Every structure is written in structure tokens, then in C-alpha cells.
Amino acid sequence: MATGKVKKEMKMKRIPFGTETELSRLLEHCPGCGVSRRQEHEYGCPLECCPSCHGCLLHCDCLVLPLVDEMKITAAIARSMSLGKVTQLLKSSPLLERGLLENGAMKWIMDHQPVELMQEWDRIAEQAIVEIKRDGLEIYPSQEL
Ligand SMILES: [Zn+2]
Ligand SMILES: [Zn+2]
């Protein structure tokens, strides 16, 4: 997971509600988590914006928040997860490495260890590793030329 040391120098502050879009400036409270303007969103709020790309914080892959914030958001997402949601996410992101939503799903899997999903996930992960290896082998000779 792309958290921690690698991007340390690029860490950014969270964007408080009411300062991110024209629309949110008109609202007194966040429709997603209920905080007042200029307060930070509740961890895991689906309407929080990413300070780097200004897209939805839970769905982008920037991971620019300090690790402590990312972990709190991850924990909040994990609490809102279910077997159905996790299974759905695995279809679009087999290794769950994209962003905070996937981190939360990963935490949910580790917390619950559902047998049916663990087997399926092992299979997906193995397949993905094989594909990465195969890509690596294909790319390597062409870089040599
Ligand atoms: Zn919110
Ligand atoms: Zn982003």
C-alpha cells in the first residue's frame, strides 16, 4: 500500500467542509457527515475532497494525507463495509491497492476473515502476481533494445 515513507514530503492537510466547492459554500452542514462549515469531515465521509486532485477522497489514488488521518479514515470505512461491498470492490480492484476505499475493504477482510472471500482473494492475488511477473518479463527485453 502506498502509505508512509515514500510520499512523506508530499503530505497535505485535509480540506474542511464548506471550502471545497461553490455548492458547499451555500450549505451549513455537510450532507454526507453533518459537520458544520469549516470543520473537518467525519472520518470516512463520502463527500470529503482530496487536497491533491480535488476529487472524492475515498475514490482517488493520491494518498496524500498524513498516515494517522489515512488510518482513521481506513478504520471508518472498514466499519461501514460488508461482504457484498468488499466483493464488489474486488472486481474492480483485485489487489485492493488503489486508495482509501480499498484500504478500508482490506481492513474489513483482515478483521472478519470470511472463509469464502479469503479463498477467492488468494486466487485473485495469485493471478495478479503472475500477470505482473509476466508483464515484467515482456517489458524488460524491450527496454534493453
Ligand atoms: Zn462530510
Ligand atoms: Zn486525490
pTM to 2 decimal places: 0.77
- Exposed/middle/buried for residue 80 (C-beta within 10 Å: 0-12, 13-18, 19+): exposed
What separation in Å is there between the alpha carbon of 115 and the centre of ligand 2? 33
> What are the grid coordinates assigned to 86, written together?
468488499
Boundaries of every domain in the chain: 11-65, 67-145
pLDDT in tens, 113-126: 998 888 877 787 78
CB–CB of 32/41 below 8 Å?
Answer: yes
Ligand nearest 15 Cα, by number?
1
- Exposed/middle/buried for residue 99 (C-beta within 10 Å: 0-12, 13-18, 19+): buried
Q: Which of the 8 DSSP states describes residue 90?
A: H
What separation in Å is there between the alpha carbon of 42 and the centre of ligand 1? 6
pLDDT in tens, 51-85: 999 999 999 999 999 999 999 999 999 999 999 99
